[in-house]
Structure 1
Amino acid sequence: MTKGTGQKRQHADDLIALLDTADRLPGAVALRARSYDLLSAGPGMLAVDVGCGAGRAVAELAERGVRAIGVDPSEPMIAVARGRWPEADFRNAGAYDVPLPDASVDAYRADKVFHELAEPERALIEARRVLVPGGRIALFGQDWDIIVIDSDDPALTRTIVHARADMVAGPRTARRYRNLLLEAGFKDVTVEVQTGVFTGLAMLPLLTGLAEGACSTGAITREQADGWIAEQWARAEADRLFLALPMFMAAATSLR
């Protein structure tokens, strides 16, 4: 294994571990359940979960009687998903080129995906292509400019949040969900916001990642990053950590 390959594998392993931790949080469980309700997911349906990651949603949809296909551009993610749920259908592909025929699925789901896309409009054209007439789409994700963190240094915290947001392809895509769906020709567009409040140790990797990202861009110094991370660890250990994360959920019906 080359050094570059090893680093990619470690990055994938770290990401999977973080996603697993986040997926087990009560708020995340409820959010996924709400996504299935918005899709009217039930027996006999065919759905595609774009950006499926390690495949948890595909497995949960199967429990509802849905035949779900998981699509993800990351080969390590797809390998993990296949290992965990070998009976499920997982395919290595991205949101711009979903490997399905025209008008072939009843539901399209994308969770924490569209902020990674430079061209969300292109992904929605592809979503309309694969959806049957009257099919349902549901998009979920955070607005990276809106992360509420209690800290002794609010100015530094603001700098960290915005610097990390600027590293994302579409940091404010979630606030655009409604307009993006309307402009792509979907109807019956609805938008909901659920805010997760976190006060324990589980979110420390996310907070650490925010500071490390800001440091990597030069927005803050190494000393500032280390000090801010240390403060958040101390808050968590003293049961004083506070993080509020609004999640935007948009759903619509295909006109195609």
Structure 2
Amino acid sequence: MPAQHDIAAERELWDTYAESVFKPEAESSFCWTQYADHGPGPELLGEPASVLEIGCGTGRALAHLAERGIKATGVDLSPVMVGRIRERWEETGPRFECAEGLAFLADHHDSYDAIYSIFGAAWFTDPAKLFPLVAQRLNPGGVFAFSHPPAIPGAYGPQGMYKGGFAGPALFTYRYSYTPRRWQNLLHRSGFHEAEARILDAPKAGHIGTLIVRAKR
């Protein structure tokens, strides 16, 4: 049975998340992994003149790119988060839109040199629906890159996730987990002619690594 996404309920979940993680004093930064100062930086995107971040969260990565003169757009499902990051990064220059990622890609016809997701929409959206839309919105030669934790061995496909434990309102969403090879195959099927997926080890042995995926149209 396919995952049954309830966008209104998921928006409530991400609004709650925004309340817990947004820190107005945080500075701009760009990191693909869950460990500070570990792993590659924005060079994975190439040298884009324009970028779109899907599931932009706190906006710190997008602000980092905007500070370097890149035309930067971010989309996030949470109106709470978008309201706060618009205010926080107003002088930096990114454009933030509040929308569900699939709907935004389908309804807006702008194209970008790079589209990316850091522990964002590429982790929480059905790739069979997301990847073809991303390919349509990339300029020729454009880069699509994303990162999130690797799959737990044997646990593949959509994985249900409750918000903040197992008590309280039943707010939940789905994460999508596959092997690196499976991610590459999904990208090739969606029109990407180059795709590489790898797991970057954590800075400390035995800790959770990071799946990093990069593809070109």
Determine if the TM-score, normalized by the shorter chain, exceeds 0.5.
yes
Q: CA deviation at 1:63?
A: 2.8
Secondary structure of 1:244's aligned partner: coil
Residue pairs, 1:194-233, within 5 angstroms: 194-197=200-203
Secondary structure of 2:212's aligned partner: strand
Secondary structure of 1:90's aligned partner: strand
For 2:188, the aligned partner's letter is L
Aligned sequence identity (%): 24
Q: CA deviation at 1:65?
A: 2.3
Match of 1:64 among 54, 64, 68: 68
On the 8 A contact 2:15/2:79 being kept in 1, the answer is: no
Partners of 2:215 and 2:147 in 1: CA distance: 12
Deviations 1:26-79 (A, max 9, x none): 834444xx352111035xx01101100010111111233211101111111111
Instruction: Determine whether 1:250 maps to 2:187.
Output: no
Instruction: Determine whether 1:115 maps to 2:92.
Output: no
Cα 1:94/1:29, change in 2 over 3 Å: farther
Match of 1:41 among 37, 42, 47: 47
Q: CA deviation at 1:112?
A: 1.2
**Superposed CA RMSD:** 3.3
**Whose Rg is larger?**
1
On the 8 A contact 2:62/2:74 being kept in 1, the answer is: yes
Q: CA deviation at 1:11?
A: 4.2
Cα 1:184/1:77, change in 2 over 3 Å: same
Q: CA deviation at 1:109?
A: 0.4
Match of 2:143 in 1: 136
Q: Which runs of 5+ in 1 are unaligned?
A: 1-5, 147-160, 199-241
Residue pairs, 1:1-256, within 5 angstroms: 10-16=16-22, 27-31=35-39, 34-42=40-48, 45-86=49-90, 87-98=93-104, 101-102=108-109, 104-113=111-120, 114-117=122-125, 119-145=126-152, 166-167=160-161, 169-173=174-178, 175=180, 176-197=182-203, 244-254=207-217
Q: Which runs of 5+ in 2 are unaligned?
A: 1-11, 162-172
On the 8 A contact 1:142/1:247 being kept in 2, the answer is: yes
Partners of 1:9 and 1:123 in 2: CA distance: 22
Count of residues paired in the alignment? 182
Deviations 1:134-155 (A, max 9, x none): 1111011112526xxxxxxxxx
Deviations 1:174-229 (A, max 9, x none): 6432121111110121223222246xxxxxxxxxxxxxxxxxxxxxxxxxxxxxxx
Q: CA deviation at 1:91?
A: 0.5
Cα 1:145/1:67, change in 2 over 3 Å: same
Q: CA deviation at 1:98?
A: 2.5
Q: CA deviation at 1:94?
A: 2.2
Partners of 2:179 and 2:88 in 1: CA distance: 30
Q: CA deviation at 1:120?
A: 1.5
Cα 1:9/1:26, change in 2 over 3 Å: closer
**Between structures 1 and 2, the one with greater strand share:** 2
Secondary structure of 1:125's aligned partner: helix
Instruction: Give TM-score, length-normalised by structure 1.
Output: 0.60
